[in-house]
Structure 1
Amino acid sequence: MNTQIITQLPIPPHFNPDKVGEVWRVSYQERAAEAEIWAKQHDIKPASLDKTRICLLLIDVQNTFCIPGFELFVGGKSGNAAVDDNVRLSEFIYRNLGIITKIVPTLDTHTATQIFHPIFWVNTAGEHPTPATTITPADIKQGIWKVNPAVANSVTNGNYELLEKHAYHYLKKLSQDGKYPLTVWPYHSMLGGIGHALVSSVEEAIFFHGIARQSQTQFEIKGENPLTENYSILRPEVLEDFEQRPLAQKNTQLIKQLLEYDAVIIGGQAKSHCVAWTIDDLLTEIKQVDATLAKKIYLLEDCTSPVVVSNVVDYTEQADAAFIRFAKAGMHIVKSSENIASFF
């Protein structure tokens, strides 16, 4: 590692923490010019020269999860958690601009007709489930919910029987594998919509990093398969259909890539779902190669929050338990304010 980047960098004057909870257009050309000047002023070298290669994996830092009033805003216990997380995350990127080799943001990406959206299911009255409804194999057997016949045309070329078989298999598989039961979510992270976009302040920080370090940001898409949830960027919830044929695939290229970095730092939303599931899948892959590789993983605990919906659900306990388990496996639980460079 270059000695001049051991100390943290200042935060550029364009960053405004009061705007992190808002949606706005990043002035790319202006920021690019500033980033090049910033790199010269602070002797920030191109990422290609890094001796210690560090990846910052950002899970679903999108408007849909992180901006108040959007579909699945992660308010956490405080009610403003994702906004506060992203203030710290943006500052973390700027302070550690000189040591983060590559930033990999994931993008939860959906269309309307997917297995976890209301339109996919109906009751005997033809009504769709409300968001936060969970659907189990028992619900199918009892006739409480069934697949909406009308969506078969879009999903399985009109083969409703095939779609029914898959849906029942999917719910059983979630239960057998110890996954969360199928949750019907509000329409969110809609491809082409504002909710799908990265949070403006974080996007700006990522762009600034890319120019200052001459390092291409690597965007990773997940969640577009209509027949499975995809909390983790590394693999969907279910890999095979009811006939044990491939339904979806693991992100083997990203898995390989992450394991080759000297360190991987992880933050984003939500701690209880997409973040926890991604880390869990990464840990599974690590154990298959070399369990000691877990020591290369750093979790930004103050840049992620659990799903909490007042009087509905609270996943705080599950999220905290997952992070305790990750720490026991050798991963590091750190805060964004720490001098990360001193760890390597």
Structure 2
Amino acid sequence: MTRKVIITCAITGSVHTPSMSPHLPITPDEIARQAIDAANAGASILHLHARDPKTGFPAPDPDLFMEFLSRINDATDAVINISTGGGMNMNVRDRIRAAANAAPEMASLNMGTMNFGLFPALASRSEWKHGWEPEFLESSRDFVFKNTFSDIETILADLGDANGTRFEFECYDVGHLYTLSHFVERGLIKGPLFIQFVLGVLGGIGADPDNLRHLKLTADKLFGDQYQFSVLGAGRHQMPLATLSAELGGNVRVGLEDNLYLAKGELAPDNASQVRKIREILDGMGLEIATPDEARVALGLKGADKVAF
């Protein structure tokens, strides 16, 4: 494929809580509508979590996912990417239930165990819609996201081998690239690889442009030309690091999972607004946007007709 940029949009996630933005999609209907709008705005890949529709708490229930997956699939040709990162309340079996049930073209896969600190967000407000929100954020002070070598092997077998699902390998630090290389060397992961460099999450590598360059240099050394990369910049780092990713030959990720704002002090009204903003930046750089089918070819995906929704 001629060099074109793949836009991923992460619709809701499990990090931000409902009190942080009235525009964060919570219900299956909200998630479906915002995902469809993001695809219509130019996102080729839609990265999806589910939430309890009454409380907004991150939820692993496959039935909740199925309430929006079919709607999105019927309305768009976007690649569906289901999270296996889940939320802090979930073990690895919980985290893969929805993807195992839906057999999507893609699923995310965090490449290591790490501290995952959300508690600094407590300083941003004193009133909350739901009692679980401050407790959830505070609990991250003593939380370790567990994805051991055994957990990764389980996900690769139960999703990749069983369903033909390919992965967005989320690398929050340089060591995660070496873990990915380990699995490639064992033959458990085959190219083309799609690596998501994640910068700016407390517990992972900092959101510094030099860190992004180092991640890319390391990936070049380990994987040569057998990978594509994208960049997730947390919070206010979203657009600057996405722009740098495009400059370095990579792809981009936006969405309310990663950043609630469109500009300083301005909440994004929806996910599509962030997709449109990064498209304007990419257009200004003279770069073309990949269609979903072009993304499928570039990433070696099985096709939307082979999913279970």
**Under TM normalisation by the shorter chain, which class is it?**
0.3 to 0.5
TM-score (norm 2): 0.36
Query: Which is strand-richer, 1 or 2?
Result: 2
Greater CA radius of gyration, 1 or 2? 1
